[in-house]
Structure 1
Amino acid sequence: MKHDPDSVSRARASRKDQTGAEAKLWSLLRNRRLIKHKFRRQYPIGPWVADFACPAIKLAIEVDGPSHDTSDQQAWDEMKTGYLRTSGWRVIRVKNADVYQALGEVEAASSQKLATKASPLPVRERVSVSEANDG
């Protein structure tokens, strides 16, 4: 698959300037640490760049900081998620706060989604600590 040159440039720049939450989640995902699945960080998919992606099973994990709470950013996130979904990707969104305060629960919820890779996910799936505790 050929990547969009602009998204490749943005991905390279983002890898050098990752947020603290992304760095923390990357420590969990790198080197096949999460149930032996290979993740890539700042992975270009068409015109978009996924924070983390497992291309083998087409699963993207997006880390949403406080800026994602604005209506403009939420609309942007919906467009990105829609594009990824129509391209065959599943998308999990986690909040920065959950990465910092409950990484083990984010890990458990993400592992569950990886284990059920064959089942379809809703268009926008947000993994939250409360969901991980409920199920």
Structure 2
Amino acid sequence: MLWYELRELRTHGLKFRRQAPIGPYIVDFLCPSVRLVVEVDGDLHETGPGKRHDANRDAYLNSLGYVVLRIDEPDVTHSAWHVAQMVKEKAEHLIGDPSRPLRGHPPLKGEGNAGEQT
């Protein structure tokens, strides 16, 4: 349901990918132009192991310059449109933040200037 609503945000210049790979993870939704990851969390995310996994995953994504927005699954089920509007507001906020580079990605292992060690 959320995918259909996020796709409609193209009219606002926000293009999302579904099930996008970033490093060892596959994120639910990604808006690469503003480096926004949207994760829809079900019941498994509320367990101890689920919370630890999410914390590690979020730390990794944050280290690459991504902002992770976590949404509870019941919110999507109740009103995917409202969730998409919240995602749009977050993306617009990120666009207006001059301290964040919005395009590209940090060099991956093996990329970068010659002579640099990674």
More helix as a share of residues? 1
Query: TM class, shorter-chain normalised?
Result: 0.7 to 0.9
How far off is 1:34 after superposition? 6.5
Partner of 1:53: 30
Does 31-40 or 95-104 show the bigger shift? 31-40
Q: Which amino acid aligns with 2:52?
A: A
Residue pair 2:18, 2:28 contacting (<8 A) in 1 also: yes
User: Is 2:98 the partner of 1:97?
Assistant: no
Q: Is the 8 A contact 2:38 2:68 kept in 1?
A: yes
1:30 deviates by: 2.2
Q: Is the 8 A contact 2:39 2:70 kept in 1?
A: yes
TM-score, normalised via structure 1 length: 0.66
Q: CA deviation at 1:108?
A: 2.2
Q: 1:85 and 2:62 equivalent? A: yes
Q: CA RMSD in A?
A: 1.7
Q: Which runs of 5+ in 1 are unaligned?
A: 1-23, 121-135
The structure 1 segments of at least 4 consecutive aligned residues displaced by more than 3 Å after TM superposition are: 31-34
Query: 2: distance between equivalents of 1:58 and 1:39?
Result: 10
Say whether 1:116 aligns with 2:93: yes
Q: C-alpha distance in 2, partners of 1:77/1:54?
A: 19
Equivalent pairs, count? 97
| Contact 1:43/1:52 (8 A) holds in 2 | yes
Asked if 1:66 is matched to 2:40, the reply is: no
Q: Relative CO higher for 1 or 2, CA cutoff 8 Å, sep ≥ 6? A: 2
TM-score for the superposition, normalised by structure 2:
0.75
Contact 2:41 2:72 in 1 (8 A): yes
Q: Matched residues, percent identical?
A: 36
Is the CA contact (8 Å cut-off) linking 1:34 and 1:111 kept in structure 2?
no
Amino acid at match of 2:44: S
Instruction: Give 2:102's aligned residue.
Output: none
